[in-house]
Structure 1
């Protein structure tokens, strides 16, 4: 059986009145005593209500959820925890819709964060032939905050992008190959007016000398694809052109430099960068943002066979740069190099951003909840960091030290794929060679792209990390252009 795509999410709406007979959810703030928002008179006993962010309890027909200190992160955690609790209760009691009574002084940022957490916090991807259990279908936020409907609409769009990124990355690789990923992008794009998508096959890749993509995909019976999504903007004068590039390795054995068996099953999510780019383009187009955006996803399977590429090979990338291969498990940078070169030489971007589950070194450096950010432009780096902060994704800027740049050079080719030294940094320095003089950022999401436990709005499996940041980044350029 295949999991139904897209995964259904909880619908979050805004209303100004309570519905008769619908259970209510109240919010609580910690303190002595605990402070409960509107509807407190309906709670007979506050004995087990702490107000801590995400703490939920059932009080008769009502529910109480803690929002902690009331920051966006606490509200996001509260929304996610609430929906998970309601889902679990629905399997026993069957409740599918609730009214959430928000305090009169709630901020728009809090409303947006709560919506995002509630929409994706109960995400569940399961491949099964069994009937799905009862689930919560909708929440209505009862508030008279000006503009609440607009921020909820945007938060739902960000949630949908996160969910699509998760769906694409979670899909098992016996279903998901480069052709499937391309077809999924085409299907999603068809539902959004104005968004164009073009899929190129292995013949086109050979004609255009995409040597990295062809080498990495050469060991698989399922050939590579190159996916290009185009959002033309709204036609305004001077709209900047942002190009997003996402690694699309639909399964990664490591090739001849084969990975250990433990953990290899997780490599179905090695195209999380590509998933984030596809999801971001869908979200950008749905919001009709006034900025030109192109999304590029080089998609391939890295397999072991008689036709697999080898350590010691020299490959020629799009544009003519040659690379000495030293480790076939460092395949992501090879496919990204082709796409980055194509972007610079063909698309004339104003800004260039790539995103990839690229190096285990980033997991060691930053852990599993923070993405690594490398950039040649301070303004672009600041925009990425700020965009992530607004949508609940954390980034930490890493250096691109000049003293390591020479190590990327090869004795027998222009570049060597895996220089010695700090792995995340040297991988970024390799990619930098293909970005010309375009302001560029590299986002390494090897850590936060996957989770093995629940936290905040994240559930085990693919997290959809980076999709929201990319949408918010595009919006920041659209807003700048509108103001300018």
Structure 2
């Protein structure tokens, strides 16, 4: 039960000599434009006849649209073939699609003897630079990712992907290659955690995984708070949600503090529900089937800190993840219970299936009160309402600072991850605040629709007035099918966005809006 082996990725400046077990990808630009290395005066003896390839493209209607593919077998050289894949205008998103399609096609050919994919990036749109190489390396690893739990042997896998970029020896391009490799490995680790079945993945197991991977990294400290520490610290939300399970809850704090880190002290908070039955407000069977993925937010923030450390970013960052299993038993928390959180704020429980916000509330309050945070970002598969509003490929972003929102959206654009900013300004939400009222507590945990916005409003008081962003990733944290570098199952969504934001210094402005 683990990730299948990934191909070795190399970045080289020139097309290697092709052998009988190679697959060659050709990037096809808009209007069927072929790359200069295949058709230009310096092409030499091309690996495939350009006229023959152009005819095959015309016959199959492949005009270079991203995702379009034409398979061109090379006579007498099985399994080697040419895979012509649309790269459109050559933008980075188009490039991600090109790489993803080529990797998946080459992997199917591995069952017939293919061992290496030769993947040129330079296209009719121009030579690939550092950003294109970084995106391509990420996409190679992530498009080829597979998590498998079976006793039968796995099918043959590609052994190598040779990414070809004429400027491969440029130091900036080499830095892009390294950043892409580290980011992809972190995303793959997040996917591993999300995809692990919950009969294995309880809070203790997940805590052990964090220790095994992160505690040995330079300038990283890992602290695990068990039930005793949680009671002493007032983590009433975490203890309530985890109280019905035979697997006690945990809160894990991972701090990366490099020498010379600046004054910014970002804290990333992740929802870590290792399985969600809904509690006494129990879900349907269909509603539970994907609930092993309800700790995707925790996996995301842990992976972001992992990558920040491995890249030796100069900004310090802390991750706080609240881990609990929302189960059904005689000790499960009940509707009408009143929960007291870190810092003393109380919540009336109206729905035990609105559990994620209860554990996030404790973690946010702890980050504010005990960790000296300067800015908070939480990530959670929090509401089905967000998936209804934005679909399965776009996450919602709430923020109390325009500067923070803009910085995260800019990072997301570079990372190739889709967010949509949701309203949190007072003129948009003032009429919703009364829905959080309770006769017996400071708020209730199920204030009604619009569900994603009222959930954000529930969380906001626990941030202590710090700049704060809430990323509701209920849709894109899991995928039902492959697309570009995304594969079916856990996606590791938002790891690369947070990493890009951290690499930029975790910027945030003081222009509060709420």
TM-score by length of 1: 0.94
Q: Which residue matches 1:270?
A: 294
**What secondary structure is seen at the aligned counterpart in 2 of 1:419?**
coil
Counterparts of 1:101 and 1:449 in 2: how far apart (Å)?
A: 28
- 1:432-443 equivalences in 2 (<5 Å): 432-443=460-471
1:456-475 to 2 correspondence within 5 Å?
456-475=484-503
Is structure 2 residue 482 aligned with structure 1 residue 448? no
For residues 97-156 of structure 1, the C-alpha deviation after alignment (integer angstroms, 9 at most, x for no partner) is 535363462333322222222220121111112222211132222223232221111111
2:268 to 235, 244, 260: 244
What does 1:107-122 align with in structure 2 at a 5 Å threshold?
107-122=129-144
For the residues of structure 2 that align with 1:333 and 1:167, how far apart are their CA atoms? 24
CA contact (8 A) 1:9 1:120 kept: no
- Partner residue of 1:387? 411
Q: Measure the CA separation in 2 of the matches of 1:261 and 1:97.
A: 42
Q: Which secondary structure state, in structure 2, belongs to the residue aligned with residue 83 of structure 1? A: helix
Q: What SS does structure 2 have at the residue aligned with 1:179?
A: helix
Q: Distance in 2 between matches of 1:247 and 1:480?
A: 23
Matched residue, 1:3:
2
Query: Distance in 2 between the 1:195 and 1:137 partners?
Result: 33
Encode CA deviations 1:238-271: one digit per residue, 9 max, x unaligned: 3311100000000000000000111312000000
| Deviation digits for residues 399-452 of structure 1 (CA, Å, limit 9, x no counterpart) | 122232233231111111111331000000000010011100000000111111
Report the counterpart of residue 136 of structure 1 in structure 2. Answer: 158
> Which residue, out of 39, 47, 53, partners 1:42?
47
2:266 is paired with a residue whose SS is strand
Aligned to 1:203: 228
Quick one: distance in 1 between partners of 2:436 and 2:449?
A: 10
| C-alpha separation in 1, matches of 2:377 and 2:138 | 24
Q: Deviations over 1:65-120 (max 9, x none)?
A: 32111111110011111110111000112323535363462333322222222220
Aligned to 1:52: 65
Q: TM-score, normalised by structure 2?
A: 0.89
Q: Which residue of 2 aligns with 1:421?
A: 449
Unaligned runs of 5+ in 1: none
CA–CA distance in 2 between the matches of 1:138 and 1:263? 39
Match of 1:371 in 2: 395
1:149 aligns with 2:177: no
| Aligned residue number for residue 512 of structure 2 | none
Q: CA deviation at 1:478?
A: 5.9
Q: Contact 2:243/2:332 (CA < 8 Å) preserved in 1?
A: yes
Decide whether aligned partners of structure 1 residues 99 and 363 sit closer, same or farther in structure 2, where only a CA change above 3 A counts.
closer
Unaligned runs of 5+ in 2: 40-45, 75-79, 510-514
- For 1:5-20, list aligned pairs within 5 A: 8-20=5-17
Given the alignment of the two structures, is residue 291 of structure 1 paired with residue 315 of structure 2, yes or no? yes
How many pairs are equivalent? Answer: 476
CA drift of 1:52 comes to 2.5
Determine if contact 2:404/2:507 at 8 Å carries over to the other structure: no
Q: What SS does the aligned partner of 2:351 have?
A: coil
Identify the range of structure 1 (307-316 vs 106-115) with the bigger mean alpha-carbon deviation: 106-115
1:322 paired with 2:321, answer no
Quote the offset at 1:19 in angstroms.
Answer: 3.2
Structure 1 range deviating more: 41-50 or 275-284: 41-50
How far apart are residue 285 of structure 1 and its match?
Answer: 0.5
The 2-side partners of 1:480 and 1:354 are apart by: 15
Is contact 1:84-1:122 (8 Å) kept?
A: yes
1:352 is matched with: 376
- Please give the secondary structure, in 2, of the residue aligned with 1:228: strand
User: For 1:470 and 1:315, how far apart are their aligned partners in 2?
Assistant: 31
Deviates more, 1:33-42 or 1:116-125: 33-42
1:407 paired residue among 425, 435, 457 = 435
* Range moving further from structure 2, 264-273 or 395-404: 395-404
Spell out the pairing of 1:62-141 with structure 2 (5 A cutoff): 62-98=82-118, 100=120, 102-103=122-123, 105-141=127-163
Where 1:120 maps in the other structure, the secondary structure is helix
Do the aligned residues in 2 keep the contact of 1:233 with 1:239 (CA within 8 Å)? no
Q: CA RMSD in A?
A: 1.9
* Change over 3 Å in CA distance of 1:116–1:48 after alignment to 2: farther
